[in-house]
Amino acid sequence: MSSSATPFEEDREVDFEKFYPMTLGEVIKKKYKVVAKLGFGSASTIWCCRNLATNKYAALKLYAHDLVAEDEIDNETAIYQHLRAGNPDHPGKMYVRTVQDSFFVTSRDGNLHRCLVHDLLSNDILSLWYTRSDRKLPKAMLKQILIHLLLALDFLHSECHIIHTGQVVPLTMVYGTLTECRI
């Protein structure tokens, strides 16, 4: 529940009590101060936090308790660790989102919630497209997006031996800055 009287979206879900009861301004692990909610899904919430040690912003993904099998979360965490260990000199590595930290937090009712910390990224490409009155992205930008996508996929395939089986479309890519994108 937020510090205001307005409930967050997941507070209105059937299993809302399984979500971590985040409060704006809360400090997680004595390190991450929650400043805004970025979104939620069927089994997690995403929060914008400020790292109190570095003064940089991060995205915290907090899983709901018992809504996702623990082995699925462990698999996601293992994949992120595998990606992080990939060849640092590959030009595509910088375009693949990695996890910065992983830990558990305990809610007031004693439930454990896995937390993954990611770099805070900017808008996805669809949002960028909507900002354009003509609904067209410049050719040079599209060329860069495709180059970054192909470099990222090459890193996943050739360096990490991971095959991305989900849909890889530019709309699911997000920008770290206006000059880079990540999948």
Q: Does pTM top 0.85 for this prediction?
A: no
**pLDDT surpasses 70 at 174:** no
Domains belonging to the chain, first-starting first, are 1-89+98-120 (3.30.200.20), 121-183 (no CATH)
Of 12, 14, 22, 13, nearest to 107 (Cα)?
Answer: 22
Give exposure, 19-30, as e/b (b: 16+ Cβ within 10 Å): bbbbeeeeebee
* pLDDT confidence of residue 136: 87
* pLDDT confidence of residue 181: 46
Per residue in 40-77, pLDDT (tens digit) is: 888 889 999 999 999 999 999 999 888 677 778 888 88
Per residue in 7-35, pLDDT (tens digit) is: 555 555 556 778 899 999 999 999 999 99
- The rounded radius of gyration (Å) of the Cα atoms in the chain is 18
Confidence of residue 176 (pLDDT cuts 50, 70, 90): low
